[in-house]
Amino acid sequence: MKSDADVALAGRDRLGPLIVTIFGLYARGEDNWLSVASVVQLMAELGVEGQAVRSSISRLKRRGVVRSDRRDGAAGYALAEPTLEMLAEGDARIFERRRATAEDGWLVVVFSVPESERDKRHALRTSLTQLGFGTAAPGVWVAPGNLATETRRTLARRGLSEYVDIFTGHHFAFGDLRSKVRAWWDLDELADLYADFLRRHRPELDVGVTTPDQAFRLYVPMLTQWRRLPYSDPGLPLSLLPPGWNGVTAEALFEELNTTLSAPAREHALAVIHRG
3-state class percentages of the chain: helix first, strand second, coil last, to nearest 5? 60, 10, 25
pLDDT at 154: 87
Which of 89, 114, 129 is the C-terminal boundary of a domain?
A: 89
pLDDT at 276: 62
Which residues of the chain are modeled with pLDDT < 70?
Answer: 1-13, 276
192 with 242, same domain: the answer is yes
Q: Tell me how many domains the chain contains.
A: 3
70 with 31, same domain: the answer is yes
Extract the runs of DSSP E, i.e. beta strands, from 38-87.
66-68, 76-79
pLDDT at 4: 39
202 with 149, same domain: the answer is no
Q: What is the phi/psi pair of residue 110, to 5°? A: -120, 145
Domain holding 196, by residue range, is: 185-265
pTM of the predicted protein model: 0.85
Angle formed at CA 226 by CA 33 and CA 251, multiple of 5 degrees: 130
232: CB partners within 8 A, 6+ apart: 2, 3, 132, 189, 190, 193
**CA dihedral sign of residues 229, 232, 237, 242:** negative
Residue 237 lies in a domain: yes
pLDDT at 216: 96
Q: Is 107 helix (H, G, I), strand (E, B) or coil?
A: strand
For the stretch 163-222, pLDDT in tens is 889 999 999 888 889 999 999 999 999 999 999 999 999 998 887 777 999 999 999 999
260 with 194, same domain: the answer is yes
12 with 73, same domain: the answer is yes
* Beta carbons of 180 and 241 less than 8 angstroms apart: no
CA atoms within 13 A on the CB side of 250: 26
239 with 205, same domain: the answer is yes
Between CA 95 and CA 7 the distance in angstroms is 20
